Chain A
């Protein structure tokens, strides 16, 4: 990142700028060291596992995890986002444990 509008004045700002330049373009997954209870701590391109490699530590059942990510978290890499693009994605599914297979694919 080149700074054209901000000029770091003190030494701390110079350090931060150096870090910002170094990290430019880097996408941080789960940067928050305290993820919401039930969220996975491991970033995987497929579905999520808990710290032990299983699914028991996640919001159970796993279908609820998917549902939870959709409604209360914004996690565009893995589920459609409810905030703007797919607010009605789960309308066809009243009880995810039973009806999860009625949730359709999305085509962004």
Chain B
């Protein structure tokens, strides 16, 4: 019997980077349940195609750099699924693939993969295709028309303005509150089911995979902006309701802002980052050219993160009682 001289610790860890990424993947997969139940297999096809594109891009980059291929940390899949969730269901399947390719090949891999990305790759990919094909990103099909979507082929279906677009035009969206909670309105694949989103967020916070400070900060800032400066003539609470539930604010606050790599590392810094991102998202909605530009806001907020990190001193923790050894 030969005994090894292995390094500590000798117990199996429960959390690793790949298990955290798998938690996020699980939460994202749950978001697909409602669209699949309602509109058939197209969301699944879209997700599968994008995931394959992500993994292929990752492998291609590894080959280009002549490094060993390692996709075990699942981070590229998370990027891919986030992109799918932000797509309209009637978008051609090459559109999320283009976003994923940009995200992996330009925003993630050249910086040194997971742990080194200064900008959220999914946000970068979305920003890229928003600039190139804005009409395709923001033309959502009408879920109440009852049309069946083809699984793989491009679809020409009746489109409807999303609540975010209606708000942008200064009108009040005409949607029942119940439909709004269950996501029966024109919008991105995964960002409409508000109740499912809340459940997924709760799951991630309880698993400590995502930080609730960021999401809370972002939603608070968004709500305050919506209450103080409503875009439509209505009561502050109504304005908050429509602003938080329309577009992809909630989705971005739960899944994109909480990416630990691109967010600040101290508790106070995270709150600050969330607030900043919330304000930026609302400003993009109000003054931006598109009906919403949450990903642009996230990229801008990411750019500020190093400053927040060095501004907020994290060397000591506050309110600690330390005994002397």
Question: Do A and B form a real pair?
Answer: no
- A residues neighboring B (CB under 8 Å): none
- B residues neighboring A (CB under 8 Å): none
